[in-house]
Amino acid sequence: MNIGIFTDAYYPQINGVVISTQTLKNELERLGHRVYIITVSDPKLTEDQPNVIRLKSIPFAILPNFRVGQFYSHKIMKEIKSLKLDIIHTQTEFTLCAFARIVAKQLDIPLVHTYHTMYEDYTHYIAPRRFDKTAKKITRKLSCFICNTVDNVIVPTGKVEEKLSAYGFKKNINVIPTGVDLKPFDYRRFKSDQVMKLKTSIGLDKKDKIILFVGRLAKEKSIDVLIKSLPETLEKSPHANIVIVGDGPERQALRELAKSLAVEEKVFFTGKVPWDQVGLYYQLADVFVSASLSETQGLTYIEAMAAKKPVVAKYDTNLDETIDDGINGRFFYDDDELPEILSGILEDELVNHYLSKNALDKARTYSSEYFGLAVERIYKETLGISQDLLDVK
């Protein structure tokens, strides 16, 4: 098949949608398909990438790290027409989604959409608090419209399926967890001296215990919960430290929070790190923690488990299939439960070893190979339905 994947988020950006899209591209190509990425331009690019077509774009005013592409381009439309696409798959809901719809309609190509993001968790970026309720209502209606007007819909978890159904989505939903290429996170790739060198470069000692977070430093990630838990955690685990890998708009606020709690010397911010080094940073961890309730799947949980690290997460239904409480990680329901859970894992080597081993076993069930095959099946079903309709006509 010739497959066109349209997305507003792609390299050099790094986020869950980008990783999911790249993983899908790699697996579809491994299965023998020809995959084209249609996305936005980015001034940070130093060279062209094969089979990646980019529309002109500008920075998004509210989030300058993101780009807003053109709604339409005659030149790109002509180029896409020459590709003779069999199917189009959209990964986002913005300008590239709109362009994909135009392409699909004009060229009579079936359209599949993956709904990655629960936008009602992000309305604080675009609407003042007094308009937040209205903004959430609008995002629900738009999400429902987009999903109701494509040929097939994919979601990463049952939680997202339930949300879309509550919005008023009428069609069948295909739940396909995003696959993870586990190889970059394999603990066997890294030597102990590499990990120790990194630990020292951050400013940590050999005896220090590491609570790790990896992700964008944004309000909806609830990183403040981790920092607020640290003073009490230190009472039982005096060598505990938090290492925060990533960057984002909340970085300064989080620094100030650590200072106000007198734990600024125990909280380390690495900033954004190159993607090919993230696996090494996971090896710093004694435990990986996230309090976010905005994840649709939470790829970092799976990455951490693939790195053979226990995961502690605030309970959310979308994690029911990922974390087995007390087996490969721990759930906390109230924020005040977190310090005791963390100190228990940090101070009990047997518990840590048990959770770590089971975490690795669980991660292996999220292989990227299965992901590619599952999406390929949806493409074939969609093309079959489209052909039947044409036969009827």
Query: What does the pLDDT read at residue 389?
Result: 44
- From CA 245, how far away is CA 210, in angstroms rounded? 12
Query: What does the pLDDT read at residue 364?
Result: 87
CATH of 2-179+368-392, one of 3.20.20.10, 3.30.70.100, 3.40.50.2300, 3.40.50.2000: 3.40.50.2000
Query: What does the pLDDT read at residue 253?
Result: 97
Query: What does the pLDDT read at residue 140?
Result: 86
Domains 2-179+368-392 and 183-366 share a fold: yes
Query: What does the pLDDT read at residue 131?
Result: 64
Token readout for 245 is 């890998």
Burial 83-104 (b: 16+ CB within 10 A, else e): bebbbbbbbbbbbbbbbbbebb
**Nearest to 312, CA basis, from 297, 285, 298, 332:** 332
pLDDT tens per residue, the chain (393 residues)?
999 999 999 999 888 899 899 999 999 999 999 999 999 999 988 788 999 999 999 887 666 667 888 889 999 999 999 999 999 999 999 999 999 999 999 999 999 999 987 767 655 665 556 667 787 888 888 888 999 999 999 998 888 888 888 888 878 899 998 888 899 999 999 999 999 999 999 999 999 999 999 999 999 999 999 999 999 999 999 999 999 999 999 999 999 999 999 999 999 999 999 988 999 999 999 999 999 988 766 789 999 999 999 999 999 988 888 999 999 999 999 999 999 999 999 999 999 999 999 999 999 888 899 899 999 999 999 999 544 444 443
pTM for this structure?
A: 0.69
Query: What does the pLDDT read at residue 388?
Result: 47
Query: What does the pLDDT read at residue 6?
Result: 98
Query: What does the pLDDT read at residue 162?
Result: 87
Q: Does domain 183-366 have CATH number 3.40.50.1010?
A: no
Query: What does the pLDDT read at residue 67?
Result: 87
Q: Write down the domain spans for the chain.
A: 2-179+368-392, 183-366
